Structures are given as C-alpha cells and as structure tokens.
Amino acid sequence: MGDAPYKGRAPAAEAGAPAGEIVKSLLGNPVFQFIVGRLIGGYMLFVGVTTRWERVNEAAVRPFWEPNGGKVIGCIWHGRFALIHKMWSFKRGVPKAKMLISQSREGGIVAHTSLTVGAEVVRGSEAKKGSTKPKRGVEAMRDMARHIEGGGVMAMTPDGPRGPRMRVKRGPIVLAKIAGAPLLAVTWATSNRVVFDSWDNFVLPLPFGKGALIWGNPIAPPSPDASDAEEEAVRMALEVEMNRIAAEADRIAGVAVIMPAPPRGEASMDAAEPAAQTT
C-alpha cells in the first residue's frame, strides 16, 4: 500500500456552502457522534488484530501494568492517535487509562472511539487565541492529576490540538510536575497506511500489514519547584524521544519517515523572510 499524503480537500468555494452547515450539524449531533465513533473504534480494533506487530522496548511499560504500577503519562503524537490502544494493556487489574480529548465537535467522535477501544476520557483543551469560550483546560488538568495520583495513567497528544506537528507543548510537562508522574513516549507504525495532508500528517492505518509498537524510556518529571530551564529540559527530552521512536517505527514498518514541522518560532521566521526580501 502507498503512503503518499492524501490531498483530497473540499474546494474553498464550498467552505461556506449549506453542505458545510449540514456537516457541522452532524458533527455536533450526539447520536451521530456515538455511531461514527463506535464504527471508527471497531475499525481500529480490527486493524490492531490483523496487523503483524513487532514490539520494541515493551519492558519499559510493563511495570506500569502492575496493579499498583500506574501513575504515568503516556505521550503519542496527534497524527498517530488512531492505534493508541495498542500501547496499553486493558486486562483485569491493570490501572485504568484515560485519554485527554478536546471539546470540539470532532472530539465527541474521538471520545466514543476511545471508549470503544477501552480507554476512558477527560474532555478539555487549550482555548483558541482571542476566544472567550471556556475549554475546561484548568478543570481538565485537575481531573487528570487526580486520576494519576489515584494510580491511573493519562494519555496525551503533546502537539495537539493544532500543532506544530511533532513538537511538544508545555501541557504534559506541567501535568507531570503537578502529579509527580514520569512521561512515557509511545508510538506505532504500519506498512499499510494512508498519510493525510493535514497539519499533523494524520496516519490512517490499513489492515493486513506488518507494524511496529515502540515504547520509549520513561522520562522523570520536573521537580515540584522546578525552574523554567528545568521544565524546558524535560520538554525537549520528551520531544527528542518521541521523534526518535516515531522514526524508528516508520523504518521498521518500511515506510517513509514522517518529519516534524519547524518549531513555531522558526516557522514564523521562515514565512517572514520572503516578505522581507521583496521590500
């Protein structure tokens, strides 16, 4: 199967058409969210059991699967969220896993997908710039910290919900500091896939191929009184480890390595340079 980026996007002229309003209405409909989320979850379970997996460094996560071994934050890139359930055990006695899901319309579908594969959810994300709508960011952080302190595990997408792709934001670092929980990078790759032309290069896994499941080495959280420099060191260590294992997984699966986007500051500078040259 090829893995060239999928370029199928609706023409710009259709963005404000009535069809767009219908889609928004459907995405916001609880019944539609339930049905589609459950269907997607069922598909992901199907892909998971029909792929021939190679497991790398699973020993790093096994201690957290013990009855009293929780208190960890699993981190996976937004573009590889689809098969995150393969990175955890849902057997009896294993600490419960929860996933942070945004409160967007699409988040409702993702929430039902997560529930289908066995993970509970915490809803909330950072607010858009200039937005006055609450996103439950503070409440979500408290909910996650309580879950971890109670012996559970949280799963997060450090580059979500809007990127830059494969660049760690401060959220997981702050949570690790509050809860005193280590950060565990996880990833997967499959030989049969479609890579979308989205900000996160979302990977849609296809069945009946070979794949890799990789767990990184746990990264200690910042100390309770950590300085900004210490927090940044932990953030960078997590980013480096996540990108290392993502590239390794792609190579094992025999597909092109998905590269990170430039950091936000570098992207802004690159965009500004052509404009400066024309003045």
In the predicted model, what is the mean pLDDT of the chain? 86
List beta partners, residue 122.
100
Q: CA–CA separation, 263 vs 168, rounded Å?
A: 10
Residue 10, pLDDT score: 40
Give just the sign of the alpha carbon dihedral 145, 146, 151, 155: negative
What domains does the chain contain, in order, with CATH numbers? Answer: 21-259 (3.40.1130)
What does the block give as tokens for 255?
Answer: 């597909």
Q: CA–CA separation, 279 vs 276, rounded Å?
A: 5
Residue 169 pLDDT > 80: yes
Flag the least confident range among 13-17, 24-28, 179-183: 13-17
Cα 201 to its chain centre, rounded Å, is 12
Q: Which residue has the higher pLDDT, 124 or 189?
A: 189
